[in-house]
Structure 1
Amino acid sequence: MVNYEFLGNSGLKVSNLIYGNWLTHGSQVEEDAATACVHAALDHGITSFDTADVYANGAAESVLGRALAGENRDDIEILTKVYWPTGRRRHNDAGLSRKHIMTSIDNSLRRLGTDYVDVYQAHRYDVETPIEETMQAFADVVRAGKALYIGVSEWTAEQIKYAHDFSKELGFQVISNQPQYNMLYRVIEPEVIPMSEQCGINQIVFSPMAQGVLSGKYKVGEEPPAGSRATDAKGGARTIQRFLSDEILRAVANLKPIADELGITQAQLALAWVLQNDNVTSAIIGATRPEQIAENVVAADITVPDELLYKIDRVLEDVIIDDPRLTWENAPHERPEIKR
């Protein structure tokens, strides 16, 4: 069953599985199906929902807002993000400038149909805006009651230290980082997690199943299953490609006996594995069908014994990606291209 954990050094509790709508709401699935998945999440005890203004250029926030309409706002936690180009994608429609943050929070609240979000997250670090300006804008968003807490996403250890130090000076809290993290992709372990522990920040991880690869549904020499992310021309196929090499798929297939030993699926094993990291508060899950939610929540309170954690490391040792430099190298080094 789903558990509720404190997020960072704060009094806010979130569900340890968070329902996210990247690549689904407003894009990959129809709204009726998306709404059914949101309601299934609520039925299974998931109270926390993650989205972003850039997902389907605002449509994902709108779909989530309509799906949550009528729910008691005090009983749920809504997280959204700002950074990537949105709206008309003009010269000030991206980044973490004061102008873009102030415009974006109001637009997100309107689409979500709420007066505030629980956590407002910097979707990437903006190298072209002074960090002082960004943090002051976030402080003002918090003081205005439009967000209760601030988080970041895919920031380096050094950048997380900046966020912590400036927020402390300005009297608000940065409580979370949202990185990619799974059995195959462990780049946050050497530097980001130790710095986060030092700063009282916890991880909300996305892609805990490596875009579905760790579920075991992709096989060497076989076409991807119909309707899977690898067949999604709207963005899913592009994001999953790096995990579809024969070497990775062969290694992942060897996880099945470990999952069998625990009496769970490979997908449940993948989720349980990330949640076992003490600095991970929650894992973000997505779904295109309500029954996927029911399968995922089983993992919320599974403990993987140490001997099986060791076996996982041995099975995957040749395909694990753990270079901490990749957080910086994969980040935007200038604001995204905009219209002129």
Structure 2
Amino acid sequence: MEYISVKGLDKKVSRLMKGTDYFFHNSYDKAAANMDAYLAIGGNSVDSAHIYCGGESEEVLGRYMKERGNRDQIVILTKGAHHDQNGPRVNKEAIRHDITTSLKRLQTDFIDLYALHRDDPNVPAGEVIEILNEYVKSGTVGAIGCSNWTWQRIKEANDYAAEKGLTGFTFSSPNLSLAKPNEPFWKGCVSADAETCAWHEAEQFPLFSWSSQARGFFTGRFTPEVRDNADLVRVFYSDANWERLERAKQLGAERGVTAIQIALAYVLNQPFPTCALIGAQSAEELRSCDEGSRIQLSRAELDWLDLTSDER
């Protein structure tokens, strides 16, 4: 397993990050077994959020860490300030509520990586930095970051932090995958486009990609004629993405691996620090991800897969 460093955190962060959006109390044994298998291959970073599974995701993770006595082995990434039925919640009261609730559910007094789940462009980025720095200074949170923020808003926040001598964002979590979305998967979500990736490369700014394997687009289960998954059709069905899939299949055949492993390698071979959030729920899926994380791709191969070049 490979790891990256994130400013503000003493622990290394595994490049495969375990997703927990299927962690429910009524399937605790499955979640615990998945966690055991993930740790066994060297993984240590786990992604959750205040809203996942109605709060059960964090509760199950907290129960697991308490039962195993392994909190110190795990890097927790959790998120808060997601909007509700009334609109955006990027404000001091909502952030305090969500962090306090998350700590209780996780049965811990420290969150390694804390991210705002959504942005509210009407709130000055500097105001957000001021709020989050209270938790950094108190030792409640290690590194702070954001999910689904544009690079321009991250820069605005970090410029303010630098000017005021405060801690800025040290990671971002947008979608990044070989398949490019036609539109956001959920309202308010951000996907890393070429301009975003160029900024991450210039800054060497860590990116944690959700839906890193395009929600199964590269598994081979989907074709232009198979249209039973409305969300996948809406977001990822395009002529360009079918060509990317064909190229992933071709390169995979040459390497003796699968197209979905090539898609994972695409995310992990970017010219800046990346981690891939994975949804592996079985030993086979976890093995596939582990093997895919070890594939090395050249810059020319990345460009060819992404259709920006016809040569590799």
TM-score, length-normalised on structure 2?
Answer: 0.84
Q: 1:134 to 1:310 in 2, by over 3 A?
A: closer
How far apart in 1 are the matches of 2:213 and 2:125? 32
1:336 equivalent in structure 2? none
2:112 is paired with a residue whose SS is strand
Amino acid at match of 2:132: F
How far apart in 1 are the matches of 2:126 and 2:297? 42
1:271-328 deviations in Å (ceiling 9; x for gaps)? 11111112232111012223311210112221024554354234999xxxxxxxxxxx
Amino acid at match of 1:14: V
1:337 equivalent in structure 2? none
Matched, 1:159 2:163: no
How far apart in 2 are the matches of 1:200 and 1:259? 28
Amino acid at match of 1:34: A
CA contact under 8 A between 1:136 and 1:170: conserved in structure 2?
no
Shift of 1:178: 0.3
How far apart in 2 are the matches of 1:276 and 1:297? 14
How far apart in 2 are the matches of 1:219 and 1:239? 11
Instruction: Give me the CA root mean square deviation.
Output: 2.8
1:161-213 deviations in Å (ceiling 9; x for gaps)? 12212333243241100010111228534332343455553111111111110
CA contact under 8 A between 1:98 and 1:133: conserved in structure 2?
no
Matched, 1:43 2:40: yes
Percent identity (aligned): 29
How far apart in 2 are the matches of 1:150 and 1:305? 31
How far apart in 2 are the matches of 1:245 and 1:195? 26
Matched, 1:72 2:73: no
Match of 1:280 among 265, 273, 290: 273
The number of residues matched between the two structures is 299
Query: Which structure 2 residues correspond to residues 1-340 of structure 1 after superposition, within 5 A?
Result: 2-7=1-6, 12-22=11-21, 24-26=22-24, 30-69=27-66, 70-85=68-83, 95-168=89-162, 169-185=164-180, 188-197=192-201, 199=203, 201-222=205-226, 230=229, 238=231, 241-244=234-237, 248-249=241-242, 251-306=244-299, 308-314=301-307
Deviates more, 1:49-58 or 1:70-79: 70-79
2:306 is paired with a residue whose SS is helix
CA contact under 8 A between 1:205 and 1:280: conserved in structure 2?
no
Shift of 1:239: 6.2
Shift of 1:136: 1.3
Q: 1:171 to 1:141 in 2, by over 3 A?
A: same
Q: 1:32 to 1:211 in 2, by over 3 A?
A: same
1:152 is paired with a residue whose SS is strand
1:261 is paired with a residue whose SS is helix
1:331 equivalent in structure 2? none
1:278 is paired with a residue whose SS is coil
1:206-253 deviations in Å (ceiling 9; x for gaps)? 1111111022222343476xxxxx4xxxxxx64664224577446524
How far apart in 1 are the matches of 2:4 and 2:302? 23
How far apart in 2 are the matches of 1:178 and 1:108? 19
Q: 1:291 to 1:280 in 2, by over 3 A?
A: same
CA contact under 8 A between 1:205 and 1:283: conserved in structure 2?
yes
1:327 equivalent in structure 2? none
1:21-43 deviations in Å (ceiling 9; x for gaps)? 23x2239x933222221221111
Deviates more, 1:109-118 or 1:286-295: 286-295
How far apart in 1 are the matches of 2:115 and 2:218? 27
Which structure 2 residue ranges, 5 or more long, are not aligned?
A: 182-190
Q: 1:316 to 1:212 in 2, by over 3 A?
A: farther
How far apart in 1 are the matches of 2:75 and 2:195? 28
CA contact under 8 A between 2:303 and 2:309: conserved in structure 1?
no
Amino acid at match of 1:35: A
Deviates more, 1:156-165 or 1:180-189: 180-189
Which structure 1 residue ranges, 5 or more long, are not aligned?
A: 225-229, 231-236, 318-340
Deviates more, 1:74-83 or 1:211-220: 211-220
Q: 1:130 to 1:119 in 2, by over 3 A?
A: same
Deviates more, 1:253-262 or 1:38-47: 253-262
CA contact under 8 A between 1:18 and 1:283: conserved in structure 2?
yes
